[in-house]
Structure 1
Amino acid sequence: MVRLRRMTSALAKIAEFPANPVDMFKQILQAAAKGHPDGLLVDMNLATLDEEFGVLNRTVIYRGLTEDNFPFYITHRYTRNFKNLQANPKAGICFYMTNVQDNEGKDLVTWQVRLIGAKAVELPDCEMDALWAKEELVSQIRGHICPCGEPIDYDVLKAKHDKFLEDHLASGKDLERPKSYTAFKFVPQRWDFLKVGRGEIADRVQYRLQDNGKWEAMHVST
């Protein structure tokens, strides 16, 4: 059977974009949230440099922005990703959102948002209690009992989890924040926004941080 090629092509266009990349990011998140009345979970892919394996990446749930408008990531000091960021704070961040309503039309589009040249800055300990209080119970328990990356006996860990949960519920108290709990914000040199629809060549708008602290925005070829 001969498969016919789609004999069509177009250029996607990001027609309007604000002066600040964070405002652009918020607009995309708002568009992506339409049709999700219970809230939108956005994946955030984080790549770090590891002494043993080279580049390592993991996909986590985007938590939001700090008060000074930088994406942040919650982790524990015993994890490999913490040790990676502590040894080399340069990181790559990527958000990927599909089936987003296009504000300039009725079609659904895909957005890829990257933070280029991002530097990880650990948040002060005084901010950790407020973040810990927002964690779901499952995440709080994980922070207490799971030795990240270490070989385990599943049945042993299951028994440990069930006993920990039972004791916690019986206590009627909030779980204490472990000292290992911490977070990083990511300060980028560039924000890169890619938009594409079906049968289109993607358009990109890139914000480049200038020496005067302001952002310069421009279309760049995909």
Structure 2
Amino acid sequence: MTSALAKITNYPANPVDMFKQILQADAKSHPDSVVVDMNLATLDEEFGVLNRTVIYRGLTPDNYPFYITHRYTRNFKNLQANPKAGITFYMTNVQDNDYKEVTWQVRLIGAKAVELPDSEMDALWAKEELVSQIRGYICPCGEPINHDDLKAKHDKFLEEHLASGKALERPRSYTAFKFEPQRWDFLKVGRGEIADRVQYRLQDNGKWESMHVST
């Protein structure tokens, strides 16, 4: 039995740079995995807090994580009614600088959802895989379905699309949000360790103040 304290060292002044470093270490540690999961929590009028795990899409040009959705979904309606959200990234078995495996938890605290302008949607739509594009057309999110009926609808849609030889047009429901946090919280822990956290807090002057906080 043993116990130790983890320590985050040499962290940059900007939290986005810290986030990018962790993503790079995660990609290097898991070269066969191309997906980073992002857990998004919103406030729902009916059920209270709702969370879902979605695919991390990257950063906007102004360095905010963003999320793609459709206007008919519950998460869109949640964010429209209350733009405050909680976001968590959880990455395990990431090789640290001293070649040991650690776990990182990255949270965006007090994140405000801001819908991206419609002028940016065509470029994002063009990058979507066909399966995601078709889902946006045929899947009534959250509604009860008959699986056989939905499969028949999907197969017919796919057949007609392939026969047309044309790209699928972006539906008007397709949209995206970026998330502007008040704090970035980075937690690092290895086996047999008490986790360390570094938190970046946004100041009134627009700069970030960083500090270790207890776990």
**Residues 28-177 of structure 1 mapped to structure 2, 5 A cutoff:** 28-38=22-32, 40-103=34-97, 105-177=98-170
Deviation at 1:40, TM superposition (A): 2.6
Aligned residues with identical type, % of pairs = 88
> Quick one: distance in 2 between partners of 1:40 and 1:69?
20
Q: Secondary structure at the match of 2:156?
A: helix
Matched-pair contact (CA < 8 Å) for 1:94–1:115: yes
Deviations 1:114-135 (A, max 9, x none): 0000000000000000000000
What is the number of residues matched between the two proteins?
A: 215
Query: Is 1:25 matched with 2:19?
Result: yes
> Quick one: distance in 1 between partners of 2:8 and 2:62?
26
> Quick one: distance in 2 between partners of 1:89 and 1:116?
12
Deviation at 1:38, TM superposition (A): 4.8
Deviations 1:165-214 (A, max 9, x none): 00000011000000000000000000000000000000000000000000
Deviation at 1:15, TM superposition (A): 1.1
Alpha-carbon RMSD: 0.8
Q: Secondary structure at the match of 2:64?
A: coil
Query: Residue type matched to 1:139 in 2?
Result: S
> Quick one: distance in 2 between partners of 1:217 and 1:205?
7
Query: Residue type matched to 1:119 in 2?
Result: K
TM-score (norm 1): 0.96
Displacement over 2 Å in runs of 4+: 35-40
Deviation at 1:16, TM superposition (A): 1.1
Give the equivalent residue in structure 2 for 1:200: 193
Query: Is 1:8 matched with 2:2?
Result: yes
> Quick one: distance in 1 between partners of 2:60 and 2:92?
25
Deviation at 1:36, TM superposition (A): 3.8
> Quick one: distance in 2 between partners of 1:149 and 1:36?
33
Deviation at 1:8, TM superposition (A): 0.5
> Quick one: distance in 2 between partners of 1:132 and 1:110?
33
Query: Residue type matched to 1:8 in 2?
Result: T
